[in-house]
Amino acid sequence: MIIVVVVVVVCGKVYHSSFVNEDGVSRACGCPLLPLKSHIKGPAPVSDQDTTDIVDEAITFFRANVFFRNFDIKSPADKLLIYLTFYINIALKRLEGCRTLAEGTKAIINLGLEKVPVPGESGFPFPGLFPLPQSHKEAELFRNYLKQIREETSGRLLSVAYRPNGTPNKWWLAFAKRKFMNIIIP
């Protein structure tokens, strides 16, 4: 008896940000400082609560985009999407061993306390993706924006990585093992 196995490979496409029109949006290090649906203090403009923001896009597209080794940038907002996809990957890695929402919250808070590097500093994951800051003021603005967007992403990520009863959601935490763009997470 001969058994034939057919493997179908579906070539997926990277999901890009819908924030291509940046009229009136300020920038730092070549990155648009997009509005956030956030109560966290920072330089990001406040967005309407019933609209989709870049954090929503990053979480929604994460499980598809994390499989890609290359990411064709179509707009400056895609750079932010790449950064957030990498950050979500780091956060999931930290949540991987946490068995309860309380443990996960503590791990995420500790991640939030870490120094946020900007382009040109050691530890920044994507050298060359963002231009170097032109001044100390621009570097601090970008650092504060990244800190704010990381905190907002962390809070929203906890709500999908853990079920309402506080147990881990294996359909999310399984992605902690993935390497986005072949970058090894520290």
- List, in order of start, the domains of the chain with CATH numbers: 27-182 (1.10.1760.10)
Predicted TM-score (pTM) of this structure: 0.85
Rounded Cα–Cα distance for residues 42 and 173 (Å): 28
Residue range 132-148: mean pLDDT, rounded: 96
**What are the pLDDT digits (tens) for 37-76?**
988 899 999 988 888 899 999 999 888 877 777 777 888 8
Rounded Cα–Cα distance for residues 88 and 157 (Å): 8
Rounded Cα–Cα distance for residues 101 and 166 (Å): 5
Helices (H), the chain: 54-65, 76-95, 101-112, 136-161, 170-173
**What are the pLDDT digits (tens) for 23-48?**
778 999 999 999 999 888 999 999 88
